[in-house]
């Protein structure tokens, strides 16, 4: 009998029974791939037909100690993990090739090993000699980390069974090959099967397993998103190639808050922690220029000041350009529309470029007002004073909505020498930050305040 074919979307993990150019579930193009069925298994019987083992039930109120955590000593990493490494947890670290995942994880393995965890680093991409050379360059050659180069998952699991490490790094999940699955390494089925075996091992033996996953250009882990569902924690390592800043971002964490970020700087000697990222992101700032605005943001539990830069220029094209780096293009279109219809400031015939300095990606709606201010400043060729920060959400009516953690934003700005904040009128502040707050009811008022025209 011919086996039924299965097809899976590499973007959203949806299953389909035929190939098509576009995934019906998520609408992405060219993401459907054929997958060998995981296992046909013995004749399928209803699970209820045969008795299993009764499971032990416990009360919701059962007292259980919080999971013991081990800190690496790298504060930026520990915070993103939710306070340290939890035993028996599976962690996926995704990122572009070449962004620094192997560097970060070798440094992490060395730090955990020095804290007494038995650490293994298994690479399917680099020879042990190569890794040793990198360790030397990073000043980690003396750390008690065990190395291996292997892609055969069966051999890896056998080794892990006998070694019983506290921490194992698998670099990368795309190079792993499970010999019971009939498809090439890196395929959806292989990635899924390998991740499943390794996460199961983590739960069974109490080992913390870190899987490295390469991400394709459009931001998806090559192979299936299904790995994200299998693991406890998903971290993304982001950054622009041309910049030295790297952001480790928790997008999912069963053992801590998501949205937490750690900031690193890529140096000649590996990744260095950036304990005061606001100062670093603003250190490259030039003299106040039209189009430049400092946004007082919050990333996870931590305030972060970043600079938005806008450029507005007469367009030679019939369809003017809208180019955004580090922010959402749809949100930019919305703000341009609000500026036009609520404040009477059109951007027709003008090219608009928006950039977040330092290669940072901002997703907070609280940045709306900073973006609008940067656009206005660029369009009117009027610089915003260098001692001013801006934050607030803009609604379609042009009204300004207060955002969370106003006090933390103001405190951080105060610490870095800012004296004025342009913010929504209804913001809740404790008033202890020492900043002069310029409360604004709507966008038209902001336009009037900054440019002296309504
Ligand atoms: P790597 O960790 O190999 O990236 P990934 O595993 O995500 O593919 O890092 C690749 C880049 O980092 C490489 O182009 C060189 C740079 N790098 C430094 O700048 N300094 C260093 O100390 C190290 C080890 C790498
Ligand atoms: Mg690598």
> Does residue 22's CB lie within 6 angstroms of at least one atom of ligand 1?
no
Residue 107 in contact with ligand 1 by CB distance below 6 A? no
Ligand 2 centre distance from Cα of residue 102 (Å): 4
pLDDT of 203 reads 95
242 CB within 6 A, ligand 1: no
Indicate which atom in ligand 1 lies nearest the CA of residue 172: 6
Measured distance CA(153)–CA(160) in Å, rounded: 10
The DSSP-derived string for 31-58 is -EEEE--S---SS---GGGS--PPPPP-
Ligand 1 atom at shortest distance from the alpha carbon of 171: 6
Confidence at residue 183, expressed as pLDDT on a 0 to 100 scale: 85
Provide long-range contacts, Cβ within 8 A and 24+ apart, for 133-140: 134/102, 134/103, 134/106, 135/106, 135/110, 137/269, 137/270, 138/103, 138/106, 138/107, 138/110, 138/269, 138/270, 139/269, 139/270, 140/106, 140/107, 140/110
**CATH domain 75-274 topology:** Rossmann fold (3.40.50)
**Measured from the CB, is residue 103 less than 6 Å from ligand 1?**
yes
pLDDT by residue for the chain (454 residues), tens only, comes to 455 568 888 777 778 888 888 888 888 888 788 776 655 555 556 776 678 888 888 888 877 777 789 999 999 999 999 999 999 999 999 998 899 999 999 999 999 999 999 999 999 999 999 999 999 999 999 999 999 999 999 999 999 999 999 999 999 999 999 999 888 888 888 999 999 999 999 999 999 999 999 887 665 666 657 788 899 999 999 887 778 889 999 999 999 888 889 999 999 899 999 988 888 888 777 778 899 999 999 988 889 999 999 999 999 999 999 999 999 999 999 999 999 999 999 999 999 999 998 888 899 999 999 999 999 999 999 999 999 999 999 999 999 999 999 999 999 999 888 999 999 998 887 765 678 889 999 999 999 987 764 3
- In 3D space, the residue among 115, 137, 134 whose CA is nearest the CA of residue 126 turns out to be 134
Reading the block at residue 171, the tokens are 């670099």
Rounded to an integer, what distance in angstroms lies between the CA atom of residue 195 and that of residue 254? 17
Is-cis flag, bond preceding 156, omega within 30?
A: no
Looking at all shown ligands, the one closest to residue 103's CA atom is 1
For the CA of 266, the nearest atom of ligand 1: 19
Fold that domain 280-451 belongs to in CATH: Ribosomal Protein S5; domain 2 (3.30.230)
**pTM (2 d.p.):** 0.82
Which ligand has an atom closest to residue 172 CA? 2
**Sequence spans of domains, the chain:** 1-37, 75-274, 280-451
Rounded Cα distance, 76 and 261, in Å: 8
Q: Does residue 336 have its Cβ closer than 6 Å to ligand 1? A: no
CB of 239 sitting under 6 A from ligand 1 = no
* The predicted structure's pLDDT at residue 354: 97
Please identify, by atom number, the ligand 1 atom nearest to the C-alpha of residue 134.
Answer: 24
State if residue 99 touches ligand 1 by the CB under 6 angstroms criterion.
yes
* Tokens at 124, concatenated: 């399917």
Pairing of strands 145-149, 167-171: unpaired
Q: Residue 16: what pLDDT?
A: 83
Q: Copy the structure tokens of residue 4.
A: 């039924």
Judge if the beta carbon of residue 101 lies within 6 A of ligand 1: yes
289/442 Cα distance (integer angstroms): 24
* Residue owning the nearest CA to atom 22 of ligand 1: 270
Output the CA–CA distances (angstroms, integers) from residue 165 to 118, 146, 162, 314, 319, in the order listed.
5, 10, 9, 61, 59
Between CA 102 and CA 390 the distance in angstroms is 37
For residue 149 the two structure tokens come to 């180069």
């Amino acid at each position: 009998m011919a086996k039924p074919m299965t097809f899976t979307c590499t973007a959203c993990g949806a299953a389909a029974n035929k190939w098509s150019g576009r995934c019906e579930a998520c609408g992405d193009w060219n993401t459907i791939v054929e997958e060998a069925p995981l296992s046909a298994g013995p004749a399928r019987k209803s699970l209820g037909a045969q008795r299993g083992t009764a499971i032990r039930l416990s009360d919701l109120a059962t007292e259980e100690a919080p999971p013991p955590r081990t800190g690496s000593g790298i504060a930026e990493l520990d915070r993103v993990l939710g306070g340290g490494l939890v035993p028996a947890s599976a962690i996926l670290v995704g990122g572009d090739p070449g962004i620094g995942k192997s560097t970060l994880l070798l440094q992490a393995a060395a730090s955990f090993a020095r804290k007494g965890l038995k650490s293994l680093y298994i690479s399917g991409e680099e020879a042990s000699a190569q890794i040793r050379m990198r360790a030397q360059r990073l000043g980690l050659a003396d750390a008690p980390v065990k190395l291996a180069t292997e892609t055969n998952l069966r051999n890896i699991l056998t080794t892990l069974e006998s070694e019983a490490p506290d921490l194992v790094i698998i670099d990368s999940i795309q190079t792993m090959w499970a010999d019971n699955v009939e498809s090439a390494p890196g395929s959806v089925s292989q990635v899924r099967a390998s991740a499943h075996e390794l996460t199961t091992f983590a739960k069974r033996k109490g080992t913390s397993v870190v899987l490295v996953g390469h991400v394709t250009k459009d931001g998806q882990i090559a192979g299936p998103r299904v790995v994200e569902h299998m693991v406890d924690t998903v971290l993304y390592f982001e950054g622009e190639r041309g910049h030295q800043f790297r952001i480790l971002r928790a997008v999912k964490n069963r053992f801590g808050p998501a949205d937490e970020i750690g900031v690193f700087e890529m140096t000649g000697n590996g990744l260095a922690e950036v304990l005061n990222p606001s100062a670093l992101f603003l250190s490259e700032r030039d003299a106040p220029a039209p189009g430049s605005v400092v946004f007082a943001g919050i990333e996870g539990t931590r305030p972060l000041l970043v600079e938005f830069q806008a450029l507005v220029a007469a367009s030679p094209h019939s369809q003017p350009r809208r180019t955004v780096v580090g922010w959402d293009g749809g949100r930019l279109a919305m703000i341009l529309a609000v500026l036009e219809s609520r404040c009477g400031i059109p951007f027709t015939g003008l090219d608009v470029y928006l950039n977040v300095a330092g290669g940072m990606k901002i997703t907070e709606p609280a940045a709306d007002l900073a973006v609008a201010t940067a656009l206005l400043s660029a369009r009117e060729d009027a610089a915003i004073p260098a001692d001013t920060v801006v934050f607030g959400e803009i609604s379609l009516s042009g009204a300004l909505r207060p955002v969370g953690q106003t006090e933390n934003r103001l405190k951080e700005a105060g610490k870095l020498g800012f004296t004025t904040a342009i913010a929504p009128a209804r913001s809740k502040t404790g008033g202890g930050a020492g900043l002069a707050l310029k409360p604004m009811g709507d966008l038209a008022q902001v336009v009037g305040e900054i440019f002296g025209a309504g």
